[in-house]
Amino acid sequence: MNPRPIIAYDPARPAALVDPFGRAISYLRVSVTDRCDFRCVYCMSEHMEFLPRRDLLTLEELDRLCTAFIERGTRKLRITGGEPLMRRDISSLFRRLSRHLASGLLDELTLTTNGSQLERHAPALADCGVKRVNVSLDTLDPERFRALTRTGDHARVLAGIEAALAAGLQVKLNAVALKGVNETEVVELTRFAHERGMDMTFIEVMPLGEIDGAERIDQYLPLSNVRERLAECFTLTEIDYRSGGPARYMRVAETGGRVGFITPLSHNFCESCNRVRVTCTGTLFMCLGQEDAADLRAPLRDDPSDASLHAAIDAAIARKPKGHDFVIDRESRAPAVARHMSTTGG
């Protein structure tokens, strides 16, 4: 396929971002730090080397970058990490970005977090117009949680969830399905979420980055297995609800709540992909499961007019691939992508 022609950026009439397969790019995930206070066994090595702080985009640069995408049709913006709430003065970035909610250019400003810092930040996030947050919680067992995260405090995460709910935020729980680890908890996790008015989403483990002491094929649990286990206790009905991301949802009749499934391996969702990701260093990945990327930091810093930034974005979107190359099997021992999820943005 010939690449889509790149049209010069016109600030008076900014063109929408559309990839070579006709998919409009309306969802941007931006990492503000690669640092995290957890070391989850499926995500990173125990002894991580994080980026020098000088390599990270400043909060002002992150604001410019997000604004450029919003001018080009981004309607949903998710702040990620690492653990994004570890970034110093992160609330000031949310305050800046909230102007796009007020103007109507942005439909949603949201966040993915491990919950460790959420108790402290929840009221400020609500004040900035954040309506929803995703919190990662793979288990309800404190000892298992400690083993999975290596450093995490289970009680602190639960307190963060309660603080978010008290602040009026809608919370969705995310759990990575891990074979032989938390597969017996999927019913309990779903009940826990629905009793508190939260959606519950299960995610297949993704082959990103080298991890210590385990192979991903030994961690991988197809979500078809999770769905079967849930169906033993619940009546599940497919629904059309979408949150803007890749999850496919079902209604649980017994609780009235929703349960989502993100299946990058057993049933990928590439055909409807409307997302791109930017790392905390300003690297744009057009696909989570591909290595092709574009540097947005240089045009940000070299051209205060943002014309070079928009040109770089256009060139990158023009080569967004049709789908990812994720695979987990005994023959593919190396990760599909060498970078860790915390580097790309969770």
Binding annotation for GTP = 29, 78, 112, 172, 275-277
Binding residues for S-adenosyl-L-methionine: 42, 82, 136, 206
CA–CA distance, 200 with 168 (Å, rounded to integer): 18
Given a contact cutoff of 8 angstroms between Cβ atoms, the answer to whether 337 and 209 are in contact is: yes
Binding residues: 29, 36, 40, 42-43, 78, 82, 112, 136, 172, 206, 270, 273, 275-277, 287
Neighbours of 190 (CB within 10 A): 27
CA–CA distance, 239 with 224 (Å, rounded to integer): 17
CA–CA distance, 272 with 22 (Å, rounded to integer): 10
Q: Is the Cα dihedral 61, 63, 65, 67 positive or negative?
A: negative
Nearest CA-CA partner of 171 in 113, 223, 116, 218: 113
Query: In a 3-state reduction of DSSP, which class is residue 319?
Result: coil
Q: Starting at the edge strand that comes first in sequence, how are the strands of the sheet with 275-278 ordered?
A: 236-238, 248-252, 258-262, 199-204, 170-177, 132-136, 108-113, 76-80, 27-31, 275-278, 283-285, 293-295
Residue ranges with strand state E in the chain:
27-31, 76-80, 108-113, 132-136, 170-177, 199-204, 236-238, 248-252, 258-262, 275-278, 283-285, 293-295
